Amino acid sequence: MQLGVVGLGRMGQIVVDRVTAAGHDVVAFDLDAEAVATAADTGATPAEDLADLADRLGDEKRIWLMVPAGDAVDATLDELEPHLDGDDIVVDGGNSHFEASVRRAESTPAAYLDCGTSGGPAGAELGFSLMIGGPEWAYEELSPVFDAVATGPEGHDRMGPRGAGHYVKMVHNGVEYALMQAYGEGFELLANGRYDLDLESVARTWNNGAVIRSWLLELCEEAFREEGNDLGDVADYVAGGSTGTWTVQEALEQEVPVPLIYQALAERFGSRAEDGRFARRLANRLRYGFGRHEVQRQ
């Protein structure tokens, strides 16, 4: 299969690498010429611009967008629109709001797949978890590519019609907020409790057979190993928050109580006006662990 990839940041380059490694052909474009050159070095065919990318893909275009959510997605679609028709497929692999994905699916000439993508930079080796919404025929057509980008056939599925993929990913991120908060509070109590504990050892022990073992707990172990038992100069500042806000807003609209997710979001926002919470310092470091987001330092 031939796939066009637009957006060659950390996640986009992983898509390129995994698709080419699976034996598919990739045509790659990014506004950053160095990123295009890097993709070419790993086996992709470089494109000069979006029109060139579309020309190289022929009559049945399959295009994966991995550009920042928001205006960048709309601008890319506007530029691609003259080159698309109903036989083509566009995948939005970013963290778009599900309502924006529904709007884009309605206005884009091609079949539109909204693809929630989880796994962070670790997906380079392990593969991503892909939550996909949109037409079933388009999902089935691109299944070989999804097999390559995900952890395998079990690492992706069609969640439902347009918008469903990004909807599931939105709730996934809300759950992630709550899990990070729970780990943070537990380790804060251990750090300030009755015993002088090695928190790296605690995390490692919990992660071998305990009920609460997880990848996030592995990242807790990594954080204490690399930053120290007291997290060194990691600041009490947790960035991000858009997808958690969307989750809470949707819960209010659907009258579904999500107190843990709401409290985790509130703590994240509170970190920007206060300092001193160990739990938020650990959440700050965990965001580096799973997404290589910048660590705010004191």
User: Which one from 61, 176, 200, 250 is the annotated catalytic residue?
Assistant: 176
Strands (E), the chain: 2-6, 25-29, 45-46, 62-65, 89-92, 111-118, 129-133, 156-160
Q: Is 61 a catalytic residue?
A: no
- For residue 28, give both structure tokens: 């790659």
- For residue 180, give both structure tokens: 């990070």
- For residue 182, give both structure tokens: 């729970």
Question: What is the distance between the alpha carbons of residues 11 and 17, in angstroms, rounded to a whole number?
Answer: 10
Q: What is the largest CA-CA distance in the chain?
A: 68
- Order of strands across the sheet that contains 25-29: 45-46, 25-29, 2-6, 62-65, 89-92, 111-118, 129-133, 156-160
Q: Which of 164, 171, 177, 173 is nearest to 98 (CA)?
A: 164
User: Which one from 48, 79, 154, 169 is the annotated catalytic residue?
Assistant: 169
Question: What is the distance between the alpha carbons of residues 297 and 12, in angstroms, rounded to a whole number?
Answer: 28
Q: Is 176 a catalytic residue?
A: yes
Which are the catalytic amino acids?
169, 176
